[in-house]
Every structure is written in C-alpha cells, then in structure tokens.
A and B are shown apart, each in its own frame.
Chain A
Amino acid sequence: MSSSIIGKKVKVASVGLDSFFNDLKNEGADAVKVDWKPPAGGAPAALKVLEDLECEEVDEANSKAISAILSAEPKFVGMAIAKEVIPELKGMSLSHSGPPIKWERMSGPMKGAIIGAAIYEGWIKDESEINELIKGEQIKFMADHDVSAVGPMAGVISPDMPVYIVQNATTGNKAYTNFNEGVGKVLRYGAYGKEVIDRLNWMKDTLYPMFKESVSKMGPLSLKPIMSQSLQMGDELHTRNVASTLLFIKEIAPYMTGGGFTSSQISQAISFMGGNNLFFLNLAMAAGKVTMDAASGINKSTIVTALTRNGTDFGIKVSGLGKEWFTAPAPVPKTLFFPGFKEGDANPDIGDSAIMETNGFGAFSSAASPAVTQVVGSSVSEAIRVTRRMYEITAARDKSFPIPALNFEGIPRGIDLRLVIETSISPTINTGVAHRLPGMGTVGFGIVDAPLGAFDKALQRFGQIV
C-alpha cells in the first residue's frame, strides 16, 4: 500500500497536455510522458464501457487470467486418432479453423481442405462429389476452437486424422492438433490432389504409430523449454519454427528406434520433420490453446483468449465473455509472394495459428526473430517496434520467454481488450497466406492486423453485462 508522497523524491507521469510534461522537465523533475489521445478515437459509447471496465473487479479478474497464462505448463503427452479424443467428431463431421462458418460462406482454401478431408475419409472419390454431400447437409462443421482443438490455415481435422495430445500440467486441460504437412500443395492451404492425400495417409499409417510409440516411451515432453530456447535462437514460433523443430527432433529422435519400424521408415520420418521448418508449429499452437483455455471463462476478465480466422471471418474470444465469438471480416494479409504468385491470389486471413500471437509469440515476439523481421517490415528496428507496440496492448511481460534484443525483456502476453480499444492498436499477426482458390496451396507469408471491429463488438457485449 502506498503511503505519503511528501518528503520523498517523486517521479511523475504526465497524461495530457504536452506543456505540463515540458514544464516538469524544465524544472528538473523525473517525469514520464504518456502520449495521450482520446480513447477509442473519442467514440462516446466506447468510452462509457471503458470507464465501467476500469475497476478493481476487472483488474482482479485479469490478474487471475494472467496468472493462468503465466503458470501454464503445456506438455506433449500422447497421440490419438481424432475421433477417439474429440467426441464431437462423430460420423461425417469436421472441425475447421476460425469461428464457425457455413459452407456457402467458406473461402476457397477452406473448401479445398474440406474436399481433401472428405476424400481422405473416403466419403467422396473426388471433388466432383462434394456438392452432393453439402446439399444433403451430411457433413457437420464445427470450429476447432470449440472442441479443444487448433489447426493452422484451414485447420481441418476429420475423425480419422491423427492428432497430438497436449496437456496443461497446471490445470489438467487438454488440446488437440494435427501434424504439420509442410508448405506448398498441402491440405491446410486448400490443396487436395493425390500427393496431398498420399501424404495424409503416410502420416496416419507410418508417422502416427511411430510418434505414438515414441511419446509413450519418452513420457510427457515439456514444451515451454523448447519454446523459450527457440525464441533465443531466432524463432518467433509462428512463421519461423526452425530452431524449435530441431530441438523437438533432438528430443524425440532417440525414442523413434527399436519399435518395429524399418530404418528407412525412421529415416523418412526424420527427413520429413527436418525438411519442414514449420513442423513444430502445431505443437506450439496446442501449447497456446491449453494455455488460453486455462485463462478462459473468468467472469469480467477482458483478456483475449482466442484470435483466429476461417478465411472469411476473423473471430475473437474474450475470457469474461465465455464461449461467444465476436467477428469481423478477415483482412487480406500484406504478403510476400512465392514465385509465380501475385497480388490478388491471396485469400483473406485464415487459420487458428494466430493462437501464437494470442499467447505472445509470432508477431508479438518479432523482436526475437531477426530472420523473420523481413516479413514483418523492412528492418530489425521495425520488428522491435512491432513488439514494443504489442506491449501497449498486453497485460504482462513474461520473463520465462526473454527477448535478447530487448535486453532480455519478457515477451508481451495477455492481450487486454480494454487496451486494444483504448489505443486502437490492433494485435499484429505473422501468417502463412493461402491461395484464394481451392486446390492451389501456399502463396507466401505475410503480416496482418487483426480487425478492430471484432474487438468493438466484444466491448459492446461487456457494455451490456457490466
């Protein structure tokens, strides 16, 4: 508890008139300036809600949410076939990235991935049969996030796909995610050709049993140390997972032998992991999901627990607003294209992988990843600026994940809806970019700002309940 300020050296923060800050400096006082602007661009309705949310109850609720985030201990504990662990995936049902969406409104890559999953499941022979299935409303769609799952890009998980099981050792909750297939012609980017289906089958028939056995021999693998170390090694863990993938291989490789798999199968599996710089991403995402789920459903908390996109809509969830989705149209990322692709090919933002930013990684940790900064902007200083900007909208800095370039300052974690609205600073997201047509695949990598409209809606809901 603070006591008197009389008779001790005081440090003053000035919020408002520049002249007062300048006067403080001129009289030699220790002073800090807040670059104040009317909150929410001066919108009176938003200001009213922001005022109501500026209270002890919200701060306390947020402290609980932040403590859940900081104390989460995500561990890779096992493998399963999706329908064994996700009860909602019964019969002809699929989960997908982003907020819930109907087929009619789905983007090209989402539709492509669903066609691929239906072929993989044997529901259809080829894409020509999909319309029949859709007309009959035979496939039940649901959001990954609503069934304790996450998946990058289209994020389609079908009943017979293998999934990782990640558990939060602190709270016991689990999350599921699929294997990462690499880039190019892959299901999650909307491709569904033979090579895509062949790869999925190989994953199920070879990689899955090998992983299942390896992880049971290895025991639960803590993901936090891998993530922290890889951050030191230049990954931001969203669009760059080079170090994390290698660190993961180092952990699992010793357990891959001796289980009845041929040396060529093992070699193929290790090459596959090593050849895919995003292999670890899915595990990192599931780590984010078990972390954010532990921070969900705390009454009055304004901490954002999900940022995600389905290629059409951008959706967010907020701890104190429970399971409700708040959406806005998904923007098209500012993209660096692979050769052969150009402006106009890019689909609007897609994927659950923004769970990485929700959890403090990806663009939020740009300053830790000089190599990725060129996606983020033109220079390392711009990347540092992005991380600094994210500090403005987050409630905590987590020293478990120090950023060398910021003098080992912790990464920004725990997006506070109030701060997003107040400063009009959008969470920035690093992302892969899919072709807007089904069947095409990856077109590049890019950067995107979460649309503020989704946050505005969440604030309005708070306005109705506080």
Chain B
Amino acid sequence: MNLFGITNAPPVPKIEPEKPQGTLDWAKDIRFSSWNDRIPEEPAFRPLPWGRILILLLALAALLLPFLIRDDAGIRMFALVFVSIILEALPFMLVGSLVGGLIEEFVSREKFTVRLPRRPWVMVCIAAALGIVFPVCECAIVPVVRRLVRKGLPLSAAVAYLLGGPIVNPIVATSTLLAYKFNWIVPGIRLAAGYAIATVVGLIMGRLFMRRTALLETHDSHAHSCVCGHAHQAHKKLPSRIFAAIRHASNDFSAVAHYLVVGAAIAALAQTVVDRRLFLNCASLPLLPSLLMMLLAILLNLCSDADAFIAASFRGLLSLPAQMAFMLTGPMFDLKLLLMYRTLFHRRAIIVLAGLILFSVFIVTAILEMIWGRGT
C-alpha cells in the first residue's frame, strides 16, 4: 500500500463490451478520444424538432415583414443591402455549383486521386495557391470544394484551397492594387499572408482531424448508391452526363444557397445598424483596431473582390495592419461562410477552423504591427 492508501496491485484488465457485428470502428479513425462522435441511440419517442420549427417561423416572419412594414427607412436600407449581397453572390454561386456538378460528372475519382501529389504538405502548398489558376470568390468556392472532397481531395488540401482560393488569386490582387492606388506592398502582403495562413491552417487541420471526423458525408439524392468507386459515368452519353452534372449542381445550390441568404440578412442588419466611426475611437490602442476590423469583416460579409476598397476607406484613420486584418479575415471567415461551412464540415471542425483562422490572422496582424507600427 502506498502513501495514499492504494495497493500496488496489478491493474484489473478493462473488459471491453463485445462490439456488435456490422458497426463501424470509430476509434480507428479518431485521434482524440474526447472528440469521438457518439453513435446516437434510437429514441423511444420522436420529440418535436422545436429548433427547426423556430427557424421555420423566423423565416416566415422574415418573409412577411416587408409586406407589413414598407415605408420605414431602416427596412428599405436593409432590403437594399440584403438583395444587393445576394444578387452579387448569386451568379458566382450558380457558376460555382455548375463547376462542382461538372467535376462530379466528368472527373473520375481514381484519376483525380492518382494525380494528386503523394506528399501531403506539397499538396497543401499547391492547393493554397490554386486560386491563381482557378480564381474563385468565397461564395463559389464552397460548392466546388464539396465536390472535390467527394472526389478524394484530402482534408488538409481542401481547407487550404477553401481559405487560399478567395485571397490568392489575380482578381483580388488587382482589386487590392487599385484600391491602394498601385501601392504594390499592400496586395503583396495580403496575398503572401493569405497564402501562409491557408497553408498553415490546412496542415494543422490535417493533423488534428481525420477526414471522417471533420468532413460531412455529402448526400446527393440523385447520385446512385454504388460505393465501389468506379467511374460509371464513362458509360453514359454526353447529353445525359451534362444533364446529370446540372442535376448535381442544382442539388449543391439548394444545399448551400439558403446559408448565403441567412448570412446576407445578418450582414444587411449589421450594415443598417453599425456605425463605422465607432471603430475609429480605438485607433490609437495596440491590436484592438485589428480585432475590431476582424469583427467588422465577419459582420459585413463582403466579396473578396470588393473588400479592399472598404479597407482602403480606413486609410489615414486606422493602421495598415488593422486594414490587413479586415482583408484577411473576410474571405476566409464571415457569417455567410460560417453557415456555408456547415454543408462541408462537422460542427467541431468548424469551431476549430474558425479559431485557427482568427488566431492566425491576429498573429499576422500583430507581427505586421511590430514591423509597421501603428501608423496609418
């Protein structure tokens, strides 16, 4: 017996309950036992889905509101901003869904996975810069990545492309250059920092999560149920393959677009209520302006092609690191993206991803503030 009154007897072997035949061995796939997915028990009775009923009622109220209050200045501004965000994002999302549908139908899983680089870090480094070749904004990228993931793109590379694509691309570089009056340093820092964050976060996500614990199974009501992995599409004729691609695209669009609407509504509300001059009151404090600009980027849900112009409007008022915090956060993480990530990741993965993005942006802006100072 030791000091604590515990005998040094050999540990009693733990008897594992016998695993029923046919169940999945989750433990093999999960590195952190605390993050294990619980297999839900079959409920004795099915309770009413109050949460979803509440959402339904809220959506119904939002639908009726413009018919009840028409002349209020606030609701008119809300409506204008709300519809503007949706109309701006809609073509990109529709085209993104179409690209996703074409990938699903015309890219075979075997060929796709064979062509991926063998070394994971190389794949992540390439994926984070893929936006240079395939420039996509953040609205279009989610449906594309959903399909790439289905084709076997690893989690780390998917995250790297998801985060890097909307920043590391020529359109964003050009718009940032124009917004900052051809000052090459700003787009240079933006693209380099965006690339670095996308790569690092992609690698970390790949270390922290297994594919199954991070990524949702994407169900396509029209995809056939065969799981053998062979490319059955090759047997179909071109018109029917195109039709199938459009069907996949339509499903993808329906699965993601409602998150865009909710995100746009919250952003429009924020634009109707938040006074931007409030952000200027803390301009002289260290790091706080960066944090507030990150918050503003999350609330405003701006397109990555246009956000540089908003950031540039704070020139002379807030420091460049604070402006950079705005330009780095928005394309990687804002309200509509937070909701759209729900079609791709499990909740825990989203929480970790959001934390990593915000932490990385904060670190980058802190480093920039050390180098650049807090001057405007």
On whether the two chains bind one another, the answer is no
* A→B interface (CB under 8 Å): none
* B→A interface (CB under 8 Å): none
